[in-house]
Structure 1
Amino acid sequence: MNGLTSGLPDEVAAAPVPAPRADGWQPVSRMRTYELVLDRIEGQIVSGALRAGQRLPPERELASMLGVSRPAVREALRILEAQGAVRSQVGTGPDSGTTIDRLPSDALARLLRLHVALGSFPIDDVVDTRVALERASVVLACRNAQPADLARMRAELVAMDVPELDRETFNQHDTNFHVAIADAGGNRLMSDVTRAIRESVRMPILAGWSAMPESGPDSWPSVRDGVRADHHAVFLAIEAGRAELAADRLESHIRRYAIYLPIHD
C-alpha cells in the first residue's frame, strides 16, 4: 500500500478488474467508494439498463457485485434518494428494497430552495431564469391547456380572491397558480424545472410579503390586489389562446413583484 492510500481506511488498492458480468454490473476498481458506487448506478441508469420502477439488488448483494462495503452502498443510496432518483422501503415485504424513481420535481425544488437561501445564485439570475421558463410554459399552456387545466387555474384564482386571506395561504395559492400554468403546457421537464424554481422563491416571497405594512403604496393590501389583478389578466390571455400576450403579462408580473424579495440586491 503506497502513501496515497495508507491514510484512508476505506481505500485499498484493488485487484485487476474482472470482465463485466452478463447483467451489466461490474466491480469497481477501488474499494473507497460511495462516489464510485454512484458512478456505477448512474451508468446503469444512463445506459438504459436500469429504468424507472425497476428494483436494485439488495444492499448485501449489490455490495458483493461491486466489490465494496455495505456502508459505501448505503451512503450512495442515501444520496440518490435525496436526489429523488431512488426510493427506499425498509422491511421484508413485496414493496421493500430500493426502486429507481422518476419524480424529480420535489428533489429539484429542495435543491434550489437550499441554494437560493444560501445565495448561491444572484437573485436577478433566479428572476431572469424564472421569466424565461415561465414565458415558455405559458406559451405551451395557451396551445395545449385542456378544460381541466383551465379549471385548475380558475380554482386558484377563486381561492386567492377570498377577502382577508392570510398571507401564507395566499402565497400557496399564488405558487399553485404558476405551477398549474407550467403543468398545462404538457412538457414534463419544463414543468418540473419551472415548479422547482417557483418553489425555490416561495419562502423569500412570503418573507417579503410578511414584512409589508397594512397601509400605504407598498402595503400588503395594495400588493395583494395587484397580484390578483395580474393573475386574472394572465388567465384571460391563456383562456383566449393569446400566447404572446400571456407571456408578456406573466413576465411583467414576475418582474414587478421581484423587487419585494428580501434577498433582492
Structure 2
Amino acid sequence: MPVEWQPVRQSRTHELVLRSIEERVVAGELRVGDRLPPERELAPVLGVSRSALREALRVLETIGVLVAQPGRGPDAGARIVRNPDDALGRLLRLHFALGSYSLQDVLEARVVLERSSFEAAACHASPEVLDEAEALVVGMAEPGIEVSAFNDLDTRFHVLIAHSSGNALTSTLTSAVRESVRPLILRALEAAEDWPATARALDTEHGILLTLVREGRGGEAADLVERHIRALHGTLVEGPVEQS
C-alpha cells in the first residue's frame, strides 16, 4: 500500500521555547525561585531571537509561573514562581465571557467546590483565619454598604474559606470559579428590588456559615452553602452567557 503522508505541524518559535522551559520544570531542573539566564545569553543557547524569547516569557508571566523584573542588579531578570490563583481566574473569566461554559456549568462546579471547602474548613481553618472571615461578615453588615463593596467582601469571604480548607488546588479552583462570576453576581445584586433587605439576608447566611465552620459542623455548612449559592445563581440568566 502507498504510504499515507500527513502534514507536519509547524510550531511557532516561542512555542518551542515554552516547550523547552516546561520540560525543564517537569524534570525538576527548574524550581520555584530559580532565575533564568539573561535574554542575551538564553536566546542564542536556544537558537531563537530575543523577540521570540520575550514572547515566550510573557506567556509564562500570564499563566503565573514566571515573573520578570526589568533593569539591572540582583533582582533583575526572569524568575520561576508559582502564582496560579490570579492566572487561572483570569483564564476562566475570559472563557466564561466567551461562552465556553454555561452559567449552569459554573454553578455546578461552584457547588461541588464550595461544599468541599466549607466542610474541610470546619476541620482545618485556624482561629486567626476565622477571625478574618468574621471581620468580612461584619463589613458586609455595615449600614448603607454599596453593592460593589458588598460583592468584594462576599468574594473575599468565600475565597478565604477555600484557602483555609487545607487543599491548595481546591482553593485555587474555588477562587477562579467565584471570580469568574463576580460581574454577574454584581449585576444581580444591583438589580435587587430591596437592596438593604437582600444584603441583610445574604450576610445573615454568611454569619451562620461562619458559625457552623467554627463549631466544626462541616456537613451542615456544606448543605447551607449549596442552598446559598443556588439561591443567588437562580436569579441569574441560565444557559450560555454573553457579556459585554
Asked if these proteins are the same fold (TM beyond 0.5), I'd say yes
CA displacement 1:55-88 (0-9 Å, x = unmatched) = 0111121111111111111111111111111000
Rounded Cα–Cα distance in structure 2 between residues aligned with 1:37 and 1:100: 15
Q: 2:196 aligns with which of 218, 221, 224?
A: 221
Rounded Cα–Cα distance in structure 1 between residues aligned with 2:235 and 2:66: 37
Rounded Cα–Cα distance in structure 2 between residues aligned with 1:234 and 1:79: 39
**Shift in Å, 1:163:** 1.1
Q: Which residue of 1 aligns with 2:114?
A: 134
Summarize the alignment of residues 46-57 of structure 1 with structure 2, pairs less than 5 Å apart: 46-57=26-37
User: Of Structure 1 and Structure 2, which has the larger fraction of its residues in helix?
Assistant: 2
Summarize the alignment of residues 72-83 of structure 1 with structure 2, pairs less than 5 Å apart: 72-83=52-63
Structure 1 residues 160-169 or 56-65, which shifts more?
56-65
Rounded Cα–Cα distance in structure 2 between residues aligned with 1:116 and 1:253: 21
Q: 1:158 aligns with which of 127, 138, 161?
A: 138
Is residue 2:89 matched to residue 1:115? no
SS of alignment partner, residue 34 of structure 2: coil
For structure 1, the residue ranges without an aligned partner over 5 or more in a row are 6-10, 12-29, 214-218
Q: 1:252 aligns with which of 227, 232, 237?
A: 227
Rounded Cα–Cα distance in structure 2 between residues aligned with 1:60 and 1:210: 52
**Shift in Å, 1:253:** 0.3
Q: Which residue of 2 aligns with 1:14?
A: none
Aligned AA for 1:227? L
Q: 1:264 aligns with which of 232, 238, 243?
A: 238
Summarize the alignment of residues 26-41 of structure 1 with structure 2, pairs less than 5 Å apart: 32-41=12-21
Rounded Cα–Cα distance in structure 2 between residues aligned with 1:264 and 1:172: 23
Rounded Cα–Cα distance in structure 1 between residues aligned with 2:235 and 2:27: 45
Contact 2:141 2:199 (8 Å CA) reproduced = no
SS of alignment partner, residue 192 of structure 2: coil
Larger radius of gyration: 1
Rounded Cα–Cα distance in structure 2 between residues aligned with 1:48 and 1:209: 47
Q: Structure 1 stretches (4+) deviating beyond 4 angstroms?
A: none
SS of alignment partner, residue 252 of structure 1: helix
Q: Which residue of 2 aligns with 1:104?
A: 84
Give the RMSD, CA atoms, in angstroms. Answer: 1.6
**Shift in Å, 1:225:** 2.1
> Which one scores higher on RCO, CA 8 angstroms, separation ≥ 6?
2
SS of alignment partner, residue 99 of structure 1: strand
Is residue 2:60 matched to residue 1:42? no
Contact 1:209 1:260 (8 Å CA) reproduced = no
For structure 2, the residue ranges without an aligned partner over 5 or more in a row are 1-6, 240-244
Contact 1:37 1:66 (8 Å CA) reproduced = yes
Q: Which residue of 2 aligns with 1:124?
A: 104
With the length of structure 2 as denominator, give the TM-score of the two structures: 0.90
Aligned length: 232
Rounded Cα–Cα distance in structure 1 between residues aligned with 2:196 and 2:96: 27
Identical pairs, percent: 47
Contact 2:140 2:199 (8 Å CA) reproduced = no
